[in-house]
């Protein structure tokens, strides 16, 4: 740390749910700043002309997707029990932001971003999807050695970013078919679920994508 204040770092697991589905990453950051202020937690600020609260959020979730496994690192200027931090956040959280476990982490711990290696998603599809044909497309896609794609003018290979992909057929009348995927999420090598859907010929706007797990380097999966 660049200054002598005693700082205390907490890692907070949180869910980004339905109500916040269309809140982008910058706005989510702002929602955190506001929540921390409502919670009267002594957040540390950066130095300089326009001090910003020290909050790091895990990898941006594309607009429209929900998640049960986001992580935030927050630096406080005072030490307090993790349970107290959690309690204050729970009462101050906006709709759509669910607070989970809070644990103190060492200041020297690397940033969340660099710890994430892969991410699990479930994409729920409309019941009208032809699951037999989709199953064949999944099989064919996994059999490919490379999947050249273009995103925002940049060409890349999607195939090595797909670590796992399977189709679960809906059971019973209410259940929708769903695609389960594990995608690489390293610096410069991040698989995007909507790209996988497009590669399968599924219109991303028709799917409900939910992030179910972050896998961190050299630690047990989170969760």
Partner 1 sequence: MSMEPAEVQARLEHILPRVQKPGRYTGGELNQIVKEWDATSTRVALAFPDIYDLGMSNLGLAILYDALNQQDGVLAERVYLPWPDMEAQMHATGLPLYSLETKHPVAAFDILGISLPYETLYTNTLNLLDLAGIPIRSADRASSHPLVIAGGHAAFNPEPMAEFIDAFVIGEGEEVILDIVRAFQAWRERGEDRASLLRSLARIWGVYVPSLYRVEYHQNGTIRKVKPLVEEAAMPVLKRIVGRLPPPITRFIVPFVDVTHNRIPIEITRGCTRGCRFCQAGMITRPVRERSLTEIMRAIEEAVQVTGLDEVGLLSLSSSDHDEIIPLVQEASRKFSDQHIRVSLPSLRIESVSVELMDQLMGQASRSGFTLAPEAATERMREIINKPISTEQLIEIAREIYRRGWHTIKLYFMIGHPLETLNDVRAIAELCKAVLAEGRREMGRRAKVHAGVSTFVPKPHTPFQWVPCDTMDQIRAKQALLKRELRDPGLKLNWNAPEETMLEAWLSRGDRRMGAVIYEAWKRGARFDAWQEHFTYEAWMEAFASVGLDPAFYTHRERPLDEIFPWDLIHAGVQKKFLLEDYRASLRGQTRHDCREGCFACGILPIYSDLRRQNPGEAWKCPEVRTPTRARAHIPVR
Least separation in angstroms between CB 3 and partner 1: 15
The residue within the footprint of partner 1, chosen from 7, 64, 115, 168 (CB under 8 A), is: 64
The H or E element that residue 121 is part of is strand 116-124
Based on the shown chain and the rule CB under 8 A, indicate whether residue 5 belongs to the binding site for partner 1.
no
The H or E element that residue 90 is part of is helix 82-92
The residue within the footprint of partner 1, chosen from 98, 100, 104, 204 (CB under 8 A), is: 204
Stretch that binds partner 1, among 2-10, 48-56, 158-166, 210-218 (CB under 8 A): 48-56
Q: Do 49 and 9 touch, CB atoms closer than 8 A?
A: no
Q: Do 53 and 43 touch, CB atoms closer than 8 A?
A: yes
Residues in the chain, total: 223
Sites for partner 1 among residues 89-108 (CB under 8 A): 92, 94-96
Based on the shown chain and the rule CB under 8 A, indicate whether residue 153 belongs to the binding site for partner 1.
no
Find the distance separating the first CA and the last CA of the chain, reported in whole Å.
29
Q: Do 152 and 123 touch, CB atoms closer than 8 A?
A: no
Based on the shown chain and the rule CB under 8 A, indicate whether residue 25 belongs to the binding site for partner 1.
no
Nearer to partner 1, 90 or 163 (CB): 90
Question: What is the C-alpha to C-alpha distance for residues 204 and 115, in angstroms, rounded to an integer?
Answer: 28
Interface positions with partner 1 (CB under 8 A): 19-24, 26-27, 30-31, 33-38, 45, 49-51, 53, 63-64, 92, 94-96, 204-205
């Amino acid at each position: 740390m660049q200054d002598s204040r005693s700082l205390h770092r907490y890692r907070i697991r949180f869910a980004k749910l339905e109500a916040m589905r269309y809140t982008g990453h910058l706005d989510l950051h702002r929602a955190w700043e506001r929540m921390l202020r409502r919670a009267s937690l002594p957040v540390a600020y950066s130095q300089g002309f326009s001090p910003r609260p020290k909050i790091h959020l895990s990898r941006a979730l594309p607009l429209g997707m929900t998640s049960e496994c986001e992580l935030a690192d927050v630096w406080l200027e005072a030490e307090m029990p993790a349970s107290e931090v959690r309690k204050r956040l729970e009462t101050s959280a906006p709709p759509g932001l669910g607070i989970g476990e809070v644990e103190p982490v060492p200041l020297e711990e690397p940033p969340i971003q660099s710890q994430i290696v892969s991410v699990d998603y479930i994409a729920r599809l409309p019941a009208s999807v032809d699951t037999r044909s989709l199953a064949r497309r999944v099989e064919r896609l996994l059999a490919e050695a490379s999947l050249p794609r273009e995103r925002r003018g940049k060409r890349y290979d999607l195939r090595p970013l797909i670590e796992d992909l399977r189709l679960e057929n809906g059971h019973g009348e209410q259940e929708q078919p769903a695609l389960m995927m594990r995608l690489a999420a390293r610096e410069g090598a991040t698989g995007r679920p909507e790209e996988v859907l497009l590669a399968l010929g599924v219109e991303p706007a028709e799917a409900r994508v939910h992030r179910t797990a972050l896998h961190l380097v050299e630690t047990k999966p989170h969760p």
